[in-house]
Chains A and B, each alone.
Chain A
Amino acid sequence: MTPSYLLIILLLISTVAYYLGKKRAFAVVKHQGGPKVLHSRPGYYGMLTALWCGVPAVLIYSIWLVFEPTFISDMILSNLPADIKALPDDRLTLVMNDIKNLVNGNILSGEISPVIRSASEHYKHLQFISHACLTVIVLILSIAGLLVVWKIIKPELRARNHVEQLLKLVLIACSTIAIFTTIGIVMSVLYEAIRFFKVIPITEFLFGLEWSPQMAIRSDQVGSSGAFGAIPVFMGTMLISAIAMSVAVPVGLMSAIYLSEYANKKFRAVAKPLLEILAGIPTVVYGFFAALVVAPAIRNTGASFGLDVSSESALAAGLVMGVMIIPFVSSLSDDVINAVPQSLRDGAYGLGSTKSETIKQVIFPAALPGIVGGVLLAVSRAIGETMIVVMAAGLSANLTLNPLKTVTTVTVQIVTLLVGDQEFDSPKTLAAFALGLMLFVTTLILNIIALVVVRKYREQYE
Chain B
Amino acid sequence: MNNTSKSQRTMDIVQGGLAKRYQKEKRFKLYGLSAIFFSLLCLSLLFISIFSNGYTAFQQTFIEMEIAIDPEFIDKGNFAGSDYQGIIKASLRKEFPDVTGRKAKKRLYHLVSSGASYQLQDFVRDNFDKIGQTIRLWVPADDDVDMFIKGHIGRKGPEEDRRLKDDQISWIDSLVEQGRIKKKFNTTFFTAGDSREPELAGIWGAATGSFFTLLVTLALSFPIGVAAAVYLEEFAPTNRWTDLIEVNINNLAAVPSIVFGLLGLAVFLNFAGLPRSAPLVGGFVLTLMTLPTIIIASRASLKSVPPSIREAALGVGASKTQMVTHHVLPLAMPGMLTGTIIGMAQALGETAPLLMIGMVAFIVDIPGGFTDPSTVLPVQIYLWADSPERAFLERTSAAIMVLLVFLISMNAVAVILRKKFERRW
Contacts and interface: CB of A to CB of B under 8 A. Distances in A.
Interface of A: 160, 164, 167-168, 170-172, 174-179, 181-182, 184-185, 188-189, 191-192, 250-255, 257-259, 261-262, 271, 274-275, 277-278, 280-289, 291-293, 323, 326-327, 330, 352, 354-357, 359-360, 377, 380-381, 383-387, 390-391, 411, 414-415, 418-419, 424, 432-433, 436, 439-440, 443-444, 447-448, 450-451
B295 A178 contact: yes
Given A289-B49, A387-B351, A182 B256 contact: no
A188 B266 contact: yes
Interface in B239-287: 244-245, 247-252, 254-260, 262-263, 265-267, 270-271
Contacts of B232: 175
A14 to B, nearest CB: 18
Contacts of B249: 178
A271 B262 contact: no
A433 B235 CA distance: 38
Interface in B15-40: 21-22, 24-25, 28-29, 31-36, 38-40
Contact of A177 (B228, B244, B411): B228
B227 A178 contact: no
A252 B260 CA distance: 28
A282 B407 contact: yes
Nearest to B385: A288
Contacts of B248: 178-179, 181-182
A167 B263 contact: no
A175 B236 contact: yes
Nearest to B357: A418
A177 to B, nearest CB: 6
A414 B257 CA distance: 12
A293 B397 CA distance: 12
B227 A175 contact: yes
B32 A255 contact: yes
A164 B38 CA distance: 55
B227 A418 contact: no
Nearest to A455: B250
A292 B393 contact: yes
A181 B228 CA distance: 14
B351 A282 contact: yes
B135 to A, nearest CB: 38
A257 B28 CA distance: 10
Identify which of B45, B232, B254 gathers the most chain A CB atoms within 10 Å of its CB: B254
Given A185-B255, A274-B43, A178 B319 contact: no
Contacts of B228: 171, 174-175, 177-178
B118 to A, nearest CB: 24
A258 B37 CA distance: 11
B53 interface: yes
Contact of A288 (B40, B381, B411): B381
Given A164-B319, A274-B40, A451 B32 contact: no
Nearest to B356: A418
Nearest to A289: B46
B70 to A, nearest CB: 35
A170 B325 CA distance: 14
Contact of B29 (A262, A287, A432): A262
A275 B267 CA distance: 37
A347 B351 CA distance: 49
A16 B268 CA distance: 36
Given A171-B227, A271-B36, A326-B39, A280 B385 contact: no
B351 A284 contact: yes
12 contacts: A174-B223, A181-B291, A251-B39, A255-B36, A275-B40, A277-B43, A282-B348, A356-B24, A359-B28, A415-B258, A418-B355, A448-B247
Nearest to A276: B411
B49 A293 contact: yes
Contacts of B378: 282, 284, 387
Contacts of B24: 354, 356-357
B32 A257 contact: yes
Residues of A contacting B: mostly = helix
Contacts of B270: 424
Contacts of A281: 46, 349, 404, 407
Contacts of B319: 160, 164
B251 A444 contact: yes
B350 interface: yes
A105 B42 CA distance: 54
Identify which of A178, A326, A381, A387 gathers the most chain B CB atoms within 10 Å of its CB: A178
Given A175-B231, A292-B393, A419-B355, A181 B42 contact: no
A420 B71 CA distance: 45
B396 interface: yes
Contacts of A447: 250-251, 254-255
B360 interface: yes
Contacts of B321: 164, 167-168
Contacts of B352: 283, 386-387, 390, 411, 415
A285 to B, nearest CB: 5
Contacts of A440: 255-256, 259
Contacts of A411: 256, 258, 352
Contact of A443 (B21, B224, B255): B255
Nearest to A319: B42
Given A171-B235, A285-B404, A386-B256, A178 B39 contact: no
A210 to B, nearest CB: 24
Contact of A255 (B35, B53, B244, B382): B35
B245 A259 contact: no
